[in-house]
Structure 1
Amino acid sequence: MFPGATDERGGSDAGDDTRDGANFVVVGAPLDATTTFQPGTRFGPRRIRTFAETFDDYDRRTDQYFSELGVVDRGDVRAWDDIPEYLEWLEGTLRDAVWDEAVPLLLGGEHTVSLAGARAVEPEVFVCLDAHLDLRDTYDGNDLSHACVTRRILELEGVEEAIILGARTGSEEEWERAEADDVTVVPPEEVADFSFGDRLEGREVYLSVDIDGADPAYAPGTGTMEPFGLEPREMRDVVREVAPQANGFDVVEVNDRDDGQAASLAGKLTREFVFSSVARDEN
């Protein structure tokens, strides 16, 4: 269970009562099917929950207790090797949260799971912190690879644009796709000074954090490390700015190949999203 959340695994009667008051719903998606380099994202949701245990319940900046913000944890959607079928099942689980007027908090798992999150939330804007463009049409013949997820999301009905912050690598095909009007790429060196302004106002937004957006010095536990990345504080500031507008959130690509640095950062960014989202509602 994510620390500070109410345990709703197993669908007990107590869980049904909790569902009525849930503001946020944590769902783990341990998919590890198309990882390119270092596998292990199947352990991501578990590690994020584990390494979030050290964080204090109280947040000084927003004067809030995480345990009082209506977060429930519905456990993991166990992954299997049929990716289209798995994504459809995961989408249904997340859509249940949306229909209950809660914000889904998806813990990955490889980045492919973000497609299920976007399908459930139906955003107009997809905002992503990522080292990679993920705009390939296919990768190794697979159009549901983690390297294609942003392109697949842009193809969803209603999605008007993708804003990718921290991207520093991609194929020639991807950079050509990124030149289209529906894609904005903010390189790492410009993220600290970037502001969304009123760009997200009045629009449905989905926020995805690929942990490899961080420089691998801070988050080595990820499948495809890419140097010259973002500082954790830069990622935190983006999450804080976007959270008040976002209807869905995920953090993905955490694996078990470090001592918990990636998972700790992922857990902290998840909490920052919740605190910032609730602070909006109270203002």
Structure 2
Amino acid sequence: MTSAQPRGPVDSSRIPRYAGPATFARLPRLDEVGTADVAVVGVPFDAGVSYRPGARFGGNAVREASRLLRPYNPAQDASPFALAQVADAGDIAANPFDINEAVETIEAAADGLLGTGARLMTLGGDHTIALPLLRAVARRHGPVALLHFDAHLDTWDTYFGAAYTHGTPFRRAVEEGILDTSALSHVGTRGPLYGKQDLDDDAKMGFGIVTSADVMRRGVDEVAQQLRERIGDRPLYVSVDIDVLDPAHAPGTGTPEAGGLTSRELLEILRCLAGCRLVSADVVEVAPAYDHAEITSVAASHTAYELTTIMTRQIAAAATTADAETGRAAATGAAGA
């Protein structure tokens, strides 16, 4: 944890929410604070989509919607921006015409940010970006547990012969050995598939599936308990495709599917993960051109807020434990002298 007192958001009682630059939650830029415990970074890339483009504009739309976020999170009884330094790290600019090069660029930039000790809260962009992000995270933590919120499996092999698309990142991640295959879960999946083989292939990779209908029938608490048991104490990466939400709650996305989660269900499940070791996360596939009411961006900003709160709570708790252990060691040394 950074040693200085965290610098929080702009005071909205003094400067109107609609004024000033749109950083995430009106937090300082990374270059204004030097280092951060959680770096919020955008990846304006959508060259991997198979249907409607536009997620390249998602990160900035989420930032604009996040102007309404406030510093105290009552659902988690925490003031996340006072617990640890959270800063907006700007965007990772990737080649929109060369997916392979873009994947390499995103991985290198993520690796650099993680190398400072920060955890990442990434705003996409399409789901292609999850693969380079996972590579960078696994380099520090080893194979990670994955909790994947999405209408779709994203474990297909190729599209038009291309190995890197928004429908393939988690198959590549399994093949590369960067996921802990004993702790993989999809949540919110639904809709038609190419064939039953899609499910068979997915199961062979180690994924468990909680469909959107499962959440409706079983309820948030039971589903969250199942997910926590599967994750255990492993380092966890959470990837949220905003199309996990029903189009009524998130119309602004590239491949909408009927019958999805409500925003309330998604947020409640995330809040139930507070005890898990969340090492980084992403929220992707926000395509604001299809949602002029900004419903999708608002939902995505709150999703990122809950994930950020979990990370800052864990960082603060770890710092408290470290301070206590240092105090005990000092006391033991003094007694021995």
Whole-Å separation in 1 of the counterparts to 2:77 and 2:236: 25
Structure-1 residue corresponding to 2:332: none
Structure 1 residue 42 corresponds to structure 2 residue 56: yes
Displacement, 1:242? Answer: 3.3
Structure 1 residue matching 2:302: 3-state secondary structure: helix
Partner of 2:280: 248
Residue 137 of structure 1, CA deviation:
0.4
Residue type of the partner of 2:259? F
Match of 1:113 among 124, 129, 132: 129
* 2:63 is the counterpart of 1:52: no
CA distance in 2, matches of 1:73, 1:23: 11
Residue of structure 2 equivalent to 1:77: 92
The structure-2 alpha-carbon separation of the partners of 1:204 and 1:27, relative to structure 1 and needing over 3 Å to count, comes to: same
Q: How does 1:1-283 map to 2 (within 5 A)?
A: 1-8=23-30, 12=31, 14-15=32-33, 18-19=34-35, 22-68=36-82, 69-80=84-95, 81-122=97-138, 123-161=143-181, 162-169=184-191, 170-172=193-195, 173-180=197-204, 182-191=206-215, 192=220, 193-194=222-223, 195=225, 196-242=227-273, 244-256=276-288, 257-258=290-291, 259-282=293-316
Q: What's the Cα RMSD here?
A: 1.8
Higher helix share: 2
Which amino acid in structure 2 is aligned with residue 33 of structure 1?
A: A
- How far apart, in 1, do the equivalents of 2:315 and 2:121 lie? 17
Q: Is the 8 A contact 2:228 2:273 kept in 1?
A: no
Q: 1:205, 1:247 within 8 Å by CA — same for their partners in 2?
A: yes
- Deviation by residue 1:221-265 (Cα, 9 ceiling, x = unmatched): 000000001111221123223353211100000012102111111
* TM-score (structure 2 length as normaliser): 0.77
Distance 2:203 2:78 in 1: 41
Distance 1:66 1:159 in 2: 28
CA distance in 2, matches of 1:133, 1:277: 26
Counterpart residue number, 2:11: none
Contact 2:72–2:78 (8 Å) recurs in 1: yes
**In the alignment, residue 44 of structure 1 is paired with which amino acid?**
G
Find the structure with the greater CA-based Rg: 2
Do the aligned residues in 2 keep the contact of 1:214 with 1:229 (CA within 8 Å)?
Answer: yes
TM-score by length of 1: 0.91
The question of whether the paired residues in 1 share the 8 Å contact of 2:189 and 2:210 is answered with yes
Change (3 A) 1:65 1:41: same
CA contact (8 A) 2:127 2:169 kept: yes
Task: Measure the CA separation in 1 of the matches of 2:27 and 2:103.
Answer: 24
Single out whichever of 191-200 and 92-101 deviates more from structure 2: 191-200
Question: Which residue type is aligned with residue 105 of structure 1?
Answer: M
Gapped regions of structure 1 (runs ≥ 5):
none
* Identity of matched residues, %: 31
Unaligned runs of 5+ in 2: 1-22, 318-337
Shift of 1:181: 5.8
